Structure formats: C-alpha cells, structure tokens
Amino acid sequence: MENQASILVIYTGGTIGMFKDANGSLIPVDFNELHDHIPSLDLFNFQIDSYSFDPIIDSANMKPELWVKLAEVIQKNYENYDGFVILHGSDTMSFTASALSFILENLNKPVIITGSQLPLGIPRTDGRENFITSLELAAAKHEETPIIPEVAIYFENQLFRGNRTYKFNAENFEAFRSVNYPPLAEVGVNIRYWENNIRKPNFKKLKINNNLESGVSIIRLFPGITPEIFHSMLNAEGLKAVVLETFGAGNAPTEKWFVDELKAGINRGLTIINISQCRGGAVEMGKYETSSELKRIGLLNGKDMTTEAAITKLMVALGKYSDKKDIAQRMETDWRGEMTE
C-alpha cells in the first residue's frame, strides 16, 4: 500500500474558508470538520492536519510580519509533512506567494496557495475544486521526491509559479495570470505537470529570511506627474527603496527635473528598480533614449518581474544585505525563478 501523504493546511482567512450557519450568515469553517463538509476527501489517502490564524486575516490586511509568521509555521512543521496548502484571500495572494518564495530559502517541498471567488459553503463555489486539487498537488511525488518543490498558486485548473502571478479579475473564477512564465501544471481529467517549467530541488536545509524591510514604496508613473508630487514621493520619511513602474520597455520622462530627482534619491542611498507597467514583456534599459538615462544614473533593471515580486524581493533583500552593491546585484539576479535571466 502507498505511504500516506501528510499535508498541513494553513488557513489565514479569506472567502474560501467561509460557510453558512443555520441563520444563513457566513462564518469561518472549523477545519477540524473538513471531512464533514467535503466527504470526497475520504477518497484520498492523505493525513490532513490544519492550522488556523487567530484571528483570521482578511487578505487586504496582509503584511510582512504575517508573511514571516506563515514561514515560521512552515519551518516549524517542515519535517512532519510532505506538503503545505495555504488558504488565502485572493486580493493579495500574489504578494504573499512572492514574499514566501523569497523568505523560504532552500524550499524542497510544495507550498500551494489557493482560495476562491465564492465561499466554500456556497453550492456553486470554486473553492471546493481549488482546495481538493491543491491537496493533490501538495502530495504529488515522483520516486519519493516532491514534484513541485516551490511556492505556487493554484486557481481554476492552472498551477502557476507564485512569484510570477498577478490577480487580474475580481469576478471570474479564472482570477490569476502568469503572462511572462508558463504554467507549472494544468488540470483537466488528468493533472499534466510541465516538468521543464518546475524548479529542481537542491536538498539543502530549509531556512527562512525573516528580517523584512518595510521602508519601500511603489511609484507608478503617469503623464502629467508634477515635480512637486514626485519629489514628495521620493522624499518620504523612512523610504529606502522604490519600485518605479515605468512605461513600456522601461521608459520614463527625459525632462531634467525628473532625472535630477531620481539621481538625488540614488545619491541619498535609495535603491530604485525599474519595472514595466505592462504585465507582459520586460524592461530593456537602453533600448530607447527614454530609458538610457535611467540606466546611466543607476536605476536597477527589473527585467520581467511582476510588481508583486519586485516589492517583496526588495523587502527581503534590504533585510538580508546591508551593502548597496550586494542589494543591487541580488535584485538584478534571479533568486527563485521570478525573472528571466
């Protein structure tokens, strides 16, 4: 008989964990009663244990210290389980998936994050299939080695690398996309794993980067941004790093005041990384005149990272390294498959 797979389900909050009580009100599910709500779980040869945040967190309230708490729960239980399923609200799921990918160093087991657009206790819910398949993905092995040794998001029949995703739809069940990187697996009658897209395990000991720097910001450029507003953004108290969302392939205004503000910020010690506002494609600094100057004054090239990956990677990099050259080198280098070299 096959060895029983052991999965730890971590419930942070969110739509997926809600059921209707006798009065028709939505209340959080007791995860000790999961088998009562989803009898088909008995068909799997899984040991399923659960851990719930107390209090549960609306994903809009997710923050770095809670990412660290999630990582610590995984680290504490790492040797006792084959995989982990995190139930999470969809609004900030891509931020959490990206953050965990950088916090969890030498991850060699699946961490599958999922949620739903409709509560688990609603008849038409997408949560039931998302949850059941996430358990199966977290338990999947090939010759005793986990098939997905990385942080991933499963939603509506597709498994994506977590730090490549973004939420693009608030209504459809297909809520997430990964434009710059293909799926890790696709689910239909069978689960088809795209093994060439999946990171390989390194079999090193798990450790966590639990010191995150919160003095970071995202500045999205727009036509007509004024010198006064841009100056105030770059001079916010406690600011240490900025994700600058530029146009197209990394382009920005060439006006002197704009370049001078960026140069002054870099001279003060700010780390500024160039990320495209476009969800598909990559920053190519120097391709056009409007990005050549940014490269010359020291903006970092974010390549094809998502904004979610860039901001969480900055938090971890600034918490892990103190030397500006080390931070710059790490930000322009792929850590966890978040960028195409």
96 is catalytic: no
CB under 8 Å to 316, separation ≥6 — which residues? 99, 102, 103, 209, 212
Q: What is the CATH classification number for the domain harbouring 220?
A: 3.40.50.40
CB under 8 Å to 57, separation ≥6 — which residues? 12, 13, 66, 89
Establish whether the linkage from the previous residue to 55 is cis, with ω within 30° of 0: yes
Please indicate, yes or no, whether residues 20 and 138 belong to a single structural domain of this protein.
yes
Give the mean pLDDT of 121-133.
82
Q: Is the pLDDT of residue 30 over 80?
A: no
Average pLDDT along the chain: 90
**Contact status, residue 117 vs residue 175, Cβ threshold 8 Å:** yes
Domain boundary among 156, 187, 208: 208
- The pLDDT of residue 122 is 76
Please indicate, yes or no, whether residues 147 and 23 belong to a single structural domain of this protein.
yes
Please indicate, yes or no, whether residues 161 and 45 belong to a single structural domain of this protein.
yes
Residue 2 confidence class, pLDDT cut points 50, 70, 90: low
Residue 8 confidence class, pLDDT cut points 50, 70, 90: very high
User: Would residue 341 count as lying in a domain?
Assistant: no
Lowest-pLDDT range of 42-46, 78-82, 317-321:
42-46
User: Would residue 336 count as lying in a domain?
Assistant: no
User: What single letter denotes the amino acid at residue 309?
Assistant: A
Lowest-pLDDT range of 31-35, 70-74, 149-153, 165-169:
31-35
- The pLDDT of residue 93 is 94
Please indicate, yes or no, whether residues 182 and 296 belong to a single structural domain of this protein.
no
User: Would residue 104 count as lying in a domain?
Assistant: yes
Q: Is the pLDDT of residue 15 over 80?
A: no
Please indicate, yes or no, whether residues 87 and 66 belong to a single structural domain of this protein.
yes
CA angle 142, 139, 16 (to 5 degrees): 150
How far apart are the C-alpha atoms of 66 and 260, rounded to whole Å?
37
Domain boundary among 208, 224, 255: 208
* CB-CB neighbours of 106 under 10 Å: 13
Q: Percent of the chain having pLDDT more than 70?
A: 94
Q: Could you give the number of structural domains in the chain? A: 2
Residue among 15, 114, 246, 306 flagged as catalytic: 15
Q: What is the CATH classification number for the domain harbouring 9?
A: 3.40.50.1170
Domain range for residue 141?
Answer: 5-208
- The pLDDT of residue 118 is 79
- The pLDDT of residue 40 is 77
- The pLDDT of residue 191 is 94
Give the mean pLDDT of 160-173.
88
**Contact status, residue 277 vs residue 246, Cβ threshold 8 Å:** yes
Biggest alpha carbon distance in the chain?
A: 71
**What is this structure's pTM?**
0.93
Q: Is the pLDDT of residue 11 over 60?
A: yes
CB under 8 Å to 158, separation ≥6 — which residues? 174, 176, 183, 185, 186, 187
Lowest-pLDDT range of 6-10, 89-93, 117-121:
117-121
Domain boundary among 208, 228, 248: 208
Please indicate, yes or no, whether residues 238 and 159 belong to a single structural domain of this protein.
no
- The pLDDT of residue 33 is 64
Please indicate, yes or no, whether residues 198 and 235 belong to a single structural domain of this protein.
no
Give the mean pLDDT of 167-181.
85
User: Would residue 256 count as lying in a domain?
Assistant: yes
**Contact status, residue 279 vs residue 168, Cβ threshold 8 Å:** yes
